[in-house]
Amino acid sequence: MQNELTLKDIYLAQQRIAGLAERTPLLRSESLSRRWDCNVWLKLDNLQPTGAFKLRGAVNALLGLDKAQRERGVVTMSTGNFGRALAYAGQHLGIAVTVCISKLVPDNKVAALRESGAQVVIVGDTQDDADIEARRLQQEEGLAYISPFDDPLVIAGQGTCGLEIIQQQPQIDTVFAGLSGGGLIAGVGLAVKSINPHAEVIGVSMNQGAAMLESLAAGQPVQVQEVASLADSLGGGIGLDNAWTFAMTQRYMDRGYRVDEQQIARAMLHLFNHERLVVEGAAAVGIAAIEQHQIDLRGKQVALVISGQNLSNNSFAQACHLAGEPNYADL
């Protein structure tokens, strides 16, 4: 890693993004606290203006561009949420945004990208294919490339989520968050462990296509096959030339878990039934991991990052059927 991020970078990001990205609530879950005999807090980043935590890093990255880069515009690859966040921030800052996505991105996220003002390029069957196209546009059209995770400004922006958790409940000792490219875990881990080195930071991925977990097991970034999942926003690789998040995840994540589709569905339906939250699969993987792996949390202060709510009707219906509650699919 060429330069090391510090807690100061996250504090600076917190100041920079105020006004475009929200300071989201951290609310206690009575149902989960009773279920696991601990205190469970839900970090509601699904309440960001674009419906996901990604807005934090997107705003910080765009505000870090120089004037010439802003005038040329930016390009990224995305599974949907980061592209939407970048487009939203770009509209507010007067910066043109192009988003490259694969055919696996759900239709509702494609529509949201276009509604947010992004130029959308759909190419290939994987996030790696979309990344190749984004890099081509960077070279041929002179656009500034912004990684959705492997970028220091993006990581610092996502780290503000962890900083807020500690500011809102300083006694938190365990944090669960979705694990994909590693931008969220890297930033949250840096923030939380810089303030409380004894806190545990736990990442969760879906069973298949868990790129960061596969890479950590191999000791280096590796490619994985992408498959459709309720946790679609956790799909994609981490990049074979990963410069930031692989090393930071190694350093700041204590444990990583995989969860199956049925458990993700059950977690989504728990949040709907007990918390009245309609969230995408990636936002529910913390609950899924605790249930599937029977993680003992008795007496702990636990924060779950509820990362986003950008799911389609079809995804919610699929979750209902997998969780054994098909009647909800008609709501």
> Per-residue pLDDT tens for 298-310?
999 999 999 999 9
pLDDT for the residue numbered 210? 96
Query: Known catalytic residue: 54?
Result: yes
How many CA atoms within 13 Å lie on the side-chain side of 122? 11
DSSP 8-class letter at 39: E
Residues 122 and 271 both lie in one domain? no
Cα–Cα dist 318/258, whole Å: 20
Q: For the chain, how many helices (H) and strands (E)?
A: 14, 10
Q: What pLDDT score was predicted for residue 80?
A: 85
CATH number at residue 104: 3.40.50.1100
Confidence (pLDDT) at 251: 98
* Residue tagged active-site, from 54, 78, 109, 205: 54
Measured CA to CA, the distance from residue 268 to residue 272 in angstroms comes to: 6
The single residue of 102, 194, 307, 315 carrying the catalytic annotation is 307
Same domain, 97 and 215: no
Same domain, 106 and 188: no
**Which two tokens mark 140?**
């041929």
Q: Are residues 114 and 183 in the same domain?
A: no
- Can you give the pTM of this predicted structure? 0.94
Among 120, 145, 170, the domain boundary falls at 145
* Whether residue 104 is found in the same domain as residue 84: yes
Domain interval for residue 318: 7-52+155-330
Residue 150 lies in a domain: no
| Domain limit, last residue, from 87, 117, 145 | 145
Instruction: Report pLDDT for 58.
Output: 97
Q: How many domains are contained in the chain?
A: 2
Q: Residue 328's pLDDT is what?
A: 66
Mean pLDDT (the chain) is 94
Looking at residue 227, its pLDDT comes to 87
Are residue 140 and residue 208 in the same domain, yes or no? no
pLDDT of residue 125: 87
Predicted pLDDT at 79: 84
Residue ranges of the chain with per-residue pLDDT less than 70: 1-2, 327-331
For this structure, is 307 an active site residue? yes
* Residue 260 and residue 112 share a domain: no
- Residue 1's pLDDT is 41
pLDDT at 126: 85
